[in-house]
A and B are shown apart, each in its own frame.
Chain A
Amino acid sequence: MFTTPRLIAIALCAALNFALGSVVFLVKLPIYLDSIGTILCALLIYPDRKAAFVCSFLAAMISTILTTIFINPFLIWFSGTELAIALMAALVIARSDDVFRARPLPVVKFGARVVFYGILTGVAAAVVSAPVVAYVFGGVTGSGSAFLVAFFLKAGEHLMTAVLHSGFTAEPIDKTLQVLLAALLYRATPADFIAMVRAQPVPAPT
């Protein structure tokens, strides 16, 4: 499973997840781009779904650990969310790799799939993140969604429910954006690199 090109793809996607925080800061974007590498890794390695999942999850965990150590010590708590995103990427999103690379770009089909996958991934991420946000962070992680949580709490909802509802509102938007960016990067990636990454490992002679 771990050929040299795949190790490179994992490391590159992990590095992308980690380094994109710098880009966000430089262009002052009000979003997080911390899972683009995870989704992209699955797209690169598909159609070997098992390898796509394992490699994309590895990329996610490496970037999560590094980000936890150097930038945001709270991110490690969301490892479950990374697992969910890697699963979605390898089993669902990557099925549309041909649409994402089609030339000319089929705008409607491309857009529809990005939105659909983004919503699906966002819902999954919200469900998996909710217990962490509720019990580790008391419902507030410092992002704007905290005010959504406050709104729902004020309305009398229990903490977990409030966090879930807040997540269902914010996560699909964030994940749709990330699926879009991952798809665009995948589309732009040179064919020879993808061929290297997808080449199956040569079995040892018997």
Chain B
Amino acid sequence: MTPNGALVFAAIIILATMVSRVSGLLLLAVLSVLFVVIEVGRHATTVLRRALALTIPLALFMIAVWVGVVGRAPEDIAADQPGSRLSALAYVAIVCARLFLIVAITQAGALRFSALTPLQFVKTLRMPLTFKRLAVLTLSLIETLHQAIDRAHTALIASGVITRRLSVRNLLHGWVLVQTVWLTAITSVTGRMRDKWPIENTLNLLDPLLTEQKAPRFDARDKTWIALGAVAATVIVWADVHGAP
């Protein structure tokens, strides 16, 4: 499977999730499970774990608000009906089921290609060269910033300007860490743009790597999954038009 195919398939599933009702969600869940098991394989439990880790806190929060505080569903409020906590719970369940599916398919897509290096991943994407360059630059600079954050954090704690734990000082001075990190990164990239890149013509090394195209945009596996997703989405929309639950 290619990243392009995974992106398109995930987009179809996510869009279908947003418009589907309960029966549609069940169909999409089955398709997603098949995708996770076949494409992600041994990392399938990781997908489940991450999806649960992200959705459960949100679900608890929603239950506290909708069931605990409000006590009725939005449709009841809109129709000026008394509603019930049960209808509120049903509403929360559907929203959380949608969110769970969205998270699961996103994580599955990311984990499917975890064996690729960032350069390999970006290389396979079908997008304009400028965007590929940007993606590569951004990923590299993220790591630069992360290292700078770690080192600047130590130095600023050492100087007493910020503290290790939550404090009023951090509320007032936490932004100094942001500034230090920003300026460190600026200095680093300015030096590269001024010296290393012009001397080496470094960016010219990147472009041929990013524009190597040996594989087609979608392979057979991509087309199969995209077709399945499209069929599921069509069924869902048809069912919605004909009033299925």
Contacts and interface: CB of A to CB of B under 8 A. Distances in A.
A149 B149 contact: no
B161 to A, nearest CB: 11
A138 B170 contact: no
A41 B138 CA distance: 14
B65 A4 contact: no
Interface stretch (A6-14, A119-127, A167-175): A6-14
Interface size classification for chain B: 35 or more
Which residue of B137, B171, B185 has the most chain A CB atoms within 10 A of its CB atom?
B137
Given A11-B134, A136-B18, A23 B106 contact: no
Nearest to A11: B137
A146 B77 contact: no
B65 A139 contact: yes
Interface in A55-89: 58, 62-63, 66, 68-70, 72-74
Which residue of A10, A12, A141 has the most chain B CB atoms within 10 A of its CB atom?
A12
Contacts of A68: 106
Which residue of B18, B144, B149, B178 has the most chain A CB atoms within 10 A of its CB atom?
B178
A26 B153 contact: yes
Given A27-B174, A73-B106, A153-B70, A146 B65 contact: yes
Nearest to B175: A181
A139 B142 contact: no
Interface residues of A, number: 60
Contacts of A158: 74, 77-78
A189 B183 contact: yes
Nearest to B109: A69
B91 A138 contact: yes
B235 interface: no
Interface in B34-79: 54, 57-58, 61-62, 65-66, 69-71, 74, 77-78
A69 to B, nearest CB: 5
A85 B66 CA distance: 30
A192 interface: yes
B110 A26 contact: no
Interface in B70-100: 70-71, 74, 77-78, 91-92, 95, 98-99
Contacts of A154: 69-71
A116 interface: no
A128 to B, nearest CB: 17
Interface stretch (B186-194, B225-233, B237-245): B186-194
B62 A159 contact: no
Given A29-B174, A138-B66, A140-B62, A19 B142 contact: yes
Given A15-B142, A138-B91, A185 B179 contact: yes
A193 B175 contact: no
A7 B137 contact: yes
A142 B182 contact: no
A206 interface: no
Given A12-B186, A189-B186, A159 B77 contact: yes
Interface string B138-181: 11111011100100010000000010011000110011011101
A5 B182 contact: no
Given A147-B69, A188-B183, 19 more contacts: A4-B197, A12-B185, A14-B134, A23-B178, A23-B181, A27-B177, A62-B134, A66-B142, A73-B106, A150-B65, A153-B65, A153-B77, A154-B70, A154-B71, A156-B77, A158-B74, A159-B78, A188-B182, A193-B190
22 contacts: A4-B197, A7-B137, A10-B134, A16-B185, A19-B149, A23-B174, A23-B178, A29-B170, A62-B135, A69-B109, A69-B110, A73-B54, A74-B102, A138-B92, A141-B58, A142-B57, A150-B65, A151-B69, A157-B77, A158-B78, A188-B183, A189-B183
